[in-house]
Structure formats: C-alpha cells, structure tokens
A = this chain, B = another copy of it.
C-alpha cells in the first residue's frame, strides 16, 4: 500500500463531512519577523506591542493574513492537492487575534459539491475554521476549488450549491475584544487619513512595487506549511515554472496598500477574491484599492471600510477588466475585504 498522501479527488468528498486537517502550529515572534522580512509589512498594530496596547489589545497579534495563511496551509493536503483551480472565497471572518504562543489547527466542512459537465472534475465548497489551543475559532471562511476526479466513471453526487453572501454586512464583523481607537496615534501609524477621509468610490494607487523572487515565495509558502507541488518543483508543470501561491500575492498587495491605507489596520472580513492571473518569479507586483463601502461599528472610535484590493503586474492602475468582462492579463488578484480603521 502506498503510504504517501495522493490527496483527495472530487468523488472523495461528501456534503456534511468535517475534515480534520493535520499539523497544528504554534506561532512565535519568529513568524512575525519572517512576515516582516517577506513582505513590506508596516501596519503599526502588527509591528509594535506598545501600539497594540494603546489600541486596547494585550500585545501585537500575528498579522491577520499570516493567521489566514496558517489556517489555509493546513487545508491544502486535504482540499487542493488535486485542485485545478482555486475559484473563490466568501464569508471570511476573523474572530480572534492570534498571538505569539498560540497553537492553530484547522477543520473544513464540505458544504457544496457540483460535478462539471465534462465529467472529469467538479467544484467543492468547504467552510474552513481555524481554532486556537482553547478551541476558540480564530478564523472562519468559505472557499471553493475545482478538483479532478480520480475515476471519470464515478457517479456524480447530488448537486449542492451553498447559499453564500455576496458580501458580509459590517454588522457581521467581529471586533477584537477591547479594541479602542479613541487614543489612536496617527503619527506613529504613519498617515493622517481616518475613516471619514475615505469616500465610497475613491481609488488609491499604492505606487510602490516589489519584484518577486523564487526564494522568497517558496520560503513564505513553506512557512505556512502549504504543500502544493506547483509552488516548489520545476518538474511539476509542463512549462517548468513555479507558480506563486496566491496568498503570497494577497500579502504582498495588502502590505503595499499601507501607502495610502496605513490606518486600515485590521482585516476583519473577506467578502470574496479571485486569483485572476498567475504570478511568477520576476514579476513586479503593484497594488491599487477602491473604497466599496463604509460603516461605523460598535467599538469606540472604530470604523469599517469595505475595500477592493487589486494586485497587478504591469498595466495601468485602476484598470481591471476588458470589454469582454474578463480580467485583463496584468491583473493577478481582485480581493474584497473589510478593514477596521479609526473614525
């Protein structure tokens, strides 16, 4: 019997089952330092314990996207090892900050299945939850992937398509316990722009760019224990190129967005996201954002902005789709998230 993990195929999933993902992970200051080395991360709340305390938190948490990557990475061997495409995200909610010393593990419930008409693959929807050592859910999100069938003759499962919110309402967001932006230090944070300074429809070109390297994206992807072969092995794809983990592009774009959104400190919700085109070593990632919505929250001094974050390689800022409605070839990422920002 082969002892290696071949990954699951489309016919191996059943709606309602819960998959317990392997390899829990304790995070430390090491993960935080590496996040700062791998990305131009400058949000003050995730850089300084003192700043975090001035905002009512006990210490500086692990970056919200680092927490996402840790939770996500664990799901890869069970969900996307045989995936043909990572199709989307929805209803992502950060429920508890992750602090150095916390141990994270992940589970995924299969919430939808739909075989493709070609009979060779299908779409699997999962709701993934990351939990800490106290069994508190720290992150909860839905993603769907297109997965190959092992046996093309396997019968198609009953079609179940989950009813997913096109976007979270601001009232669906969870604010970290104790968060208080009334004494927020805009000087230390790096920009003066507060919630009220952003208008719906406003677009921001984040200006800076980073040319990415093989060693960096592999270190990042390994750090999150993501095992997908295409990121590491030049022999795993016909073109001999390593595909960069989509999460690397997300983190690069989000950290680049500091320049213009320095006070959008906390990611509280993920409404959706599309990896529109692949990223390879040598590409120069730039980013732009659009304000999609604004809302107040129940926490003192804390507002919420719904933001589109677009990562590009080349092309004009603010261009997204062609006349055919398809993403332009220089668009790598179109992400829709909620951030918390001082009022």
- By a beta-carbon cutoff of 8 Å, the part of chain A in contact with chain B is 2-5, 20, 22-34, 36-42, 44, 47-51, 60, 77, 100-101, 103, 105, 133, 187-191, 193, 197, 204-211, 213-216, 218-220, 222-223, 225, 227, 229, 232-236, 242, 259-262, 284
Contacts and interface: CB of A to CB of B under 8 A. Distances in A.
Contact of A42 (B214, B225, B261): B225
Contacts of A100: 28-29
Given A191-B5, A259-B5, A209 B227 contact: no
A3 B193 CA distance: 7
A178 B137 CA distance: 31
A222 B34 contact: no
A48 B4 contact: no
Given A209-B236, A210-B232, A24 B4 contact: no
A212 B103 CA distance: 29
A23 B37 contact: no
Given A188-B23, A284-B235, A4 B205 contact: yes
Contacts of A39: 222
A195 to B, nearest CB: 13
B32 A44 contact: no
Counting every copy of the chain, the complex holds 3
Given A23-B44, A262-B22, A220 B37 contact: yes
A206 B2 CA distance: 10
Contacts of A42: 22-23, 225, 227
Contact of A50 (B22, B48, B103, B284): B103
Nearest to A24: B48
A25 B47 contact: yes
A206 B4 CA distance: 6
B235 A190 contact: no
Given A36-B225, A211-B233, A232-B208, A77 B190 contact: yes
A95 B32 CA distance: 27
B50 A188 contact: no
Nearest to A192: B3
B227 A210 contact: no
14 contacts: A3-B191, A4-B207, A28-B30, A28-B32, A29-B31, A36-B222, A37-B219, A40-B227, A41-B222, A49-B103, A208-B232, A211-B235, A216-B219, A234-B284
A209 B222 contact: no
Contacts of A189: 22-23
Contacts of A225: 36, 40-42, 47
